[in-house]
Amino acid sequence: DIQMTQSPSSLSASIGDRVTITCRASQSIRNYLNWYQHKPGKPPKLLIHGASTLLNGVPSRFSGSGSGTDFTLTISSLQPEDLATYYCQQSYSTRLAFGGGTKVEIK
Amino acid sequence: QVQLQQWGAGLLKPSETLSLTCAVYGGSFRGYYWTWIRQPPGKGLEWIGEIAHSGSPNYNSTLKSRVTISIDTSKNQFSLKVTSVTAADTALYYCARGETWDGTYYYLDLWGRGNLVSVSS
């Protein structure tokens, strides 16, 4: 099975900071990589699919890049409402897998 | 507006069978992957498995021996059963819809609100 590794597992940043989260796959998954935002008490929300395609309605400060095994989610200017845990997820294999998550806190 | 509504027993004893159902309202049932995901307390998301409208299910290899996902197209519902539960199966369980992009990968674009299932003697 394909393993997904995210780093860091948590981070603390100030409002307006640029935040970068990394996701690495145990083998090449082309661009079959999705990013989700998960806030407490709510279901996860899809932000980006296909490594870099932003879902309609998602703020443009979110962006994704990468292909093969290494991927990045970037928040260009952190806002208070971005407090959440972020997960990557691969759908290259028939058995999906999530990364371990990155908890983003506001300083 | 398409919605997923899920339900099932929230408190189980060890060795019992977990049973959850998710209904799709306001949208098509065809052409999607219907998926179950769980989140144990304090941990991350774990994919349990999926079933396509007309295909065979796929399961997480670590759960495969205990999990069954089935589909009832007449009711626009899909279900999850996990046998022989233990405390390790305590989690928030979500149902979700998987949509395919250009026939290649798919992503989970619609989620149920989640069901907390606790296993305790």
Check: CB of residue A28 under 8 Å from CB of residue A14.
no
pLDDT tens profile A19-30: 999 999 999 999
> Token pair of A95, please?
């058995």
Interface contact A98-B106, CB threshold 8 A: no
Interface contact A55-B109, CB threshold 8 A: yes
**Interface residue ranges in chain A relative to chain B, Cβ cutoff 8 Å:** 1, 30-32, 34, 36, 38, 43-46, 49-50, 53, 55, 85, 87, 89, 91-92, 94-101
What is the model's pLDDT at position B54? 77
What is the model's pLDDT at position B104? 85
State chain B's mean pLDDT as an integer.
95
Bridge-based pairing of strands B91-100 and A102-106 is unpaired
What is the model's pLDDT at position B30? 87
What residues of chain A score a pLDDT lower than 70?
A: none
Check: CB of residue B68 under 8 Å from CB of residue B81.
yes
- Give the nearest chain A residue to B49 (CA atoms): A95
Query: Is residue A14 classed exposed, middle or buried when 0-12, 13-18 and 19+ CB atoms within 10 A define those classes?
Result: exposed
Closest in B44, B94, B101 to A100, CB measured: B44
Closest in A34, A49, A87 to B44, CB measured: A87
Q: Which residues pair with A21 in a beta bridge?
A: A73
Interface check B60 vs A, CB under 8 A: yes
pLDDT tens profile A32-51: 999 999 999 999 999 999 99
Residues of A whose CB is below 8 A from B103:
none
Residue A66: closest CA among A100, A43, A35? A35
What is the model's pLDDT at position B95? 98
Closest in A34, A85, A94 to B107, CB measured: A34
pLDDT mean by block of 10 residues, chain B; 121 residues: 95 98 92 96 97 87 96 94 98 96 90 98 95
Which DSSP category does B110 fall into?
Answer: E
